Amino acid sequence: MTKVVNVNGVKFGGNNPLALIAGPCVIESRELCMDMAKRLVAMSKKMNVPLIFKASYDKANRTSINSYRGPGIAKGLEILAEIKAKYNVPILTDIHSEQDIHLAAQVVDIIQIPAFLCRQTDIVVAAGESGKAVNVKKGQFLAPWDMKNVIKKLEETGNTKILLTERGVSFGYNTLVADMRSLLIMRELGYPVIFDATHSVQSPGGQGDSSGGDGRFAPYLAKAAVAVGVDGIFLETNVDPSKALSDKANAMPFAEVPKLWKKLNAINEVK
């Protein structure tokens, strides 16, 4: 039995319902972000979905120097704070430096450590010391059992509000694969496990100056992960992913999310 991590009423782990972490990859504008939050919260209430809203104020690991990164931490956190206050929904955002963590922790409920930074000890420790729940994306270069070392760094700060997220592992160049065994292995480490369905179908740097992907496979991987056993699903979604400024190739159209969630819940009930 995994530990239960309670994030403002959304409980991950144990025998709690499957939770959803969803939102646009990056904050493109206040209007778009508020609209996505409104849609997701309405779905959450209608379908009784435990929801965490996610969006990034900065995407620091873009392929090209010319890629859109977001509005920055000041404006981004202002927008996320507005969403949290208006819709009473817990918020997740990713950080890219130790300096960002103190500011982000004043607004968000979950600090996310990007996959590329999961071995950066100072960042991991600072996130733990914030006292917030910490979601660690497993690096594309890490074996699932290696996450025990990341957990140890966080536990040393006294923080046990830890979530582990699988987002695919590098398989040759510009390709990721999702090894379903890793979900079970990471669960054995004692903390809730999330499956990132949309990043797992990404092709990092696959377009030369940007990442590609194939979002049509995301729902299938999500269903497989729930059948194996996870505590939550992570989805990047947009009303029209083809117009998104980040991860448009693998984001899921919002109109398809409610239908997918019905299937995921049904699988979760019989797994």
181-216 per-position pLDDT tens digit: 999 999 999 999 999 999 999 866 656 555 566 779
SS3 content of the chain, % helix, strand, coil (to 5): 40, 20, 40
Report DSSP letters for 134-199, one per residue.
Answer: EEEEPPTT--GGGHHHHHHHHHTTT---EEEEE--EE-SSS-EE--THHHHHHHTTTS-EEEETTG
**Cα gap 191→164, rounded to integer Å:** 7
Count helices and strands in the chain by DSSP H and E runs: 8, 15
Task: Please state which CATH number belongs to domain 5-270.
Answer: 3.20.20.70
pLDDT given for residue 221 in this prediction? 97
Verdict on whether the full-model pTM lies above 0.85? yes
User: Which residue ranges make up each domain of the chain?
Assistant: 5-270
Q: How many CB atoms lie within 10 A of CB 24?
A: 28
Q: What parts of the chain have a pLDDT lower than 50?
A: none
